[in-house]
Chains A and B, each alone.
Chain A
């Protein structure tokens, strides 16, 4: 029942297309790079100033001057280029990046996204997320369907309206959770649509865990 982190990443990888320039967020989105289909050319952009990100280095070959936006040591490829933060966000804001895959705390049915702060509690900051969702052509959110607190209470994350401060208004095109896949028309033409269920997850399960209104548009019985 429900998708694992790797299965969610693999589902997100189905949104990749040959020749895409892609920015992957921290966490599950980073795993998407493990599922790039063989033979497909995808260039990974890291907003700290690199295009053409390679895999993690072999032990002993880590370079402190070569990190991704998650501050992890990485390597370069023959296609790699380096640039300043201003040039990096010219790529992002200027609409030159095809796909951004990132995590979220809340997503609303109109495409609003919240993932950068909880007032009075968490002050990590938005980093590059606001620029990414504002400028990248397609925005895919990968997240757990609900948030489970330590005391066992469950908070819904797919909402009618976000209650946390927004990262972007009407920016999300697709949500991949551990239970289902939804599409959103961020121009407000039509409702959020449920297009896929994870194996073993029923429509009733999704309804019970989702506050947002959605239209059921499943291709076939899963």
Chain B
């Protein structure tokens, strides 16, 4: 079985349908599968539920799917940098389910690991716990959260081989490894595509079993949201 597809559009072909739940890796604009997001936009699929820590920024990443109103619901922890998002949410066009960031990460990890629910102390006594089971363990209260899976997970990795073994780079890892495990179909864009045997098996973060489709995106555009620097000390 061949996992490698020639481009992002063909990697999504025949999979995307209206109303699907899509997971999308990245933190801010760091480690987002931008070519796959663009292909998702081109697919024209509507009424999507998107699970992603953020919703891109205006005009970049998932922000592009907000422009075309293809997203009906977001499950996210933080959307602060996206004006269109706030506007669509406050006007009632877009549904939003806020999850604490660690709860979101764990829900995805659990979903991919076949765990339907777990208890966490995050959010006890807040709006997040409303309508959820709260149970005491060893004298402390915990709220039950559900594992989640997606119809499709879109992932960005630094290096991958044709088997789908993946290595991420620096903080571009973030949500990508959990999402790779939680998609019924996981599609990965890799900056560097290599042959089996060229990755150190000890360094592989995501084993290929979690990956169904791979596309090579060399020279991916990368964005910086907050360019912060320091002055060079003068000798």
Contacts from A to B (Cβ < 8 Å): 46-50, 55-59, 61-74, 76, 82-86, 88-89, 92-93, 112, 117, 120, 123-131, 134-135, 165-170
Contacts and interface: CB of A to CB of B under 8 A. Distances in A.
Interface in B140-174: 158, 168-174
B189 interface: no
Interface stretch (B63-71, B99-107, B194-202, B207-215): B99-107
Given A46-B171, A84-B177, A84-B178, A123 B89 contact: yes
B81 A57 contact: no
Interface of B: 27-31, 53, 76-81, 86, 89-90, 96, 98, 100-106, 108-109, 120-128, 158, 168-178, 205, 222-232
Contacts of A135: 102, 121-122
B227 to A, nearest CB: 6
A164 to B, nearest CB: 10
Given A126-B77, A127-B77, A130-B126, 13 more contacts: A48-B30, A50-B171, A55-B230, A61-B229, A64-B223, A66-B171, A67-B27, A67-B226, A70-B226, A74-B228, A82-B171, A88-B102, A123-B90
Given A65-B169, A71-B225, A73-B227, A93 B102 contact: yes
Given A71-B81, A82-B170, A130 B230 contact: no
A71 to B, nearest CB: 4
A63 B170 contact: yes
A73 B171 contact: no
Given A49-B171, A85-B27, A120-B90, A165 B105 contact: no
Given A67-B30, A124-B80, A167-B126, A86 B229 contact: no
A65 B80 CA distance: 20
Contact of B122 (A70, A123, A134, A165): A134
7 contacts: A65-B172, A67-B171, A70-B226, A88-B102, A123-B89, A126-B100, A126-B101
Interface of A is mostly: loop
Contacts of B102: 47, 85, 88-89, 92-93, 128, 130-131, 135
B141 to A, nearest CB: 9
Contact of A65 (B78, B100, B171): B171
B78 A166 contact: no
Contacts of B77: 125-128
Contact of B170 (A65, A84, A170): A65
